[in-house]
Structure 1
């Protein structure tokens, strides 16, 4: 993995990230647009982590911390680069960020139907909590 570089996203990465998510991520979010990602980067410039190999975007994760909870979103690895340790490296970087910020526990938003993701998260030590349900309201 020595040729894998993980860095924080900048505003100039937004269009590349959005294209990447269309190819590599499962599902869509109401915030999957230029303005949504720009707001994320402006509010927390170190939250969106990018994995690159030879200058090519191969993976992403959003490592958000609001002072109370550490939350991982948008863990995605390009299909042509899966099973090479990229998700593991991204999660390690996210968890290091959380620890540095004083976080005590990380949680992740994982689509129920994405069985492949369930295996990835479980292999990284995450456990499913069936007693919680997500409640949402578009604003």
Structure 2
């Protein structure tokens, strides 16, 4: 993985990121993404959306959200050709470093119910299910 770099996504990559998420299978059970929404995220916090890049190709992504109170990880995606090569762990390590830099006390990761592979990955990184909480959403 010496040829892998982790960096913030760039505004002009919004279209490529949406296509990447579709190819990586990371769009299930989510509202439809738009380039505008991706660009707004990056404009609000230039370090919130990070990508793993190899040979100038995006092979992984992670949204690293910091709201000033809590630190949230979501949208972890690794392209099928790069899975099981350490990309996801490098993205999570990057996120943990950013969390320390901003003074976060803990990190949470959002994982879809029934995503056994995702749950196993997060558990292997030292995360655990918080049984007494459930996420409530309201579409706008």
Give the TM-score taking structure 1 as reference length: 0.96
2:78 maps to which residue? 77
Where do residues 1-139 of structure 1 align in structure 2 (5 Å cutoff)?
1-24=1-24, 25-30=26-31, 32-139=33-140
Task: Give 1:80 shift.
Answer: 1.4
Paired residue secondary structure (1:63): strand
Decide which moves more: 7-16 or 30-39.
30-39
RMSD of aligned alpha carbons: 1.1
What is the aligned length?
Answer: 139
Gaps (5+ residues) in structure 2? none
What's the CA shift for 1:26?
A: 4.8
> What is the rounded CA distance, in whole Å, between the counterparts of 1:17 and 1:101 in structure 2?
26
- The separation in 2 between residues aligned to 1:98 and 1:30, in whole angstroms, is 27
Partner SS, residue 87 of structure 1: helix
Cα distance in 2 for residues equivalent to 1:87 and 1:30: 23
Which runs of 5 or more structure 1 residues have no equivalent in the other structure?
none
Distance 2:123 2:79 in 1: 19
Name whichever of 21-30 and 38-47 sits farther off. Answer: 21-30
Q: CA deviation at 1:56?
A: 1.2
Listed one character per residue, the Cα deviations across residues 4-61 of structure 1 (whole Å, up to 9, x for unaligned) are 0111011111011000000112525336211111110010011100001111110000
**Are the structure 2 counterparts of residues 28 and 50 from structure 1 closer, same or farther at C-alpha, using a change threshold of 3 Å?**
farther
- Distance in 2 of aligned mates of 1:35 and 1:63: 18
In the TM superposition, residue 135 of structure 1 has moved relative to its aligned partner by 0.4
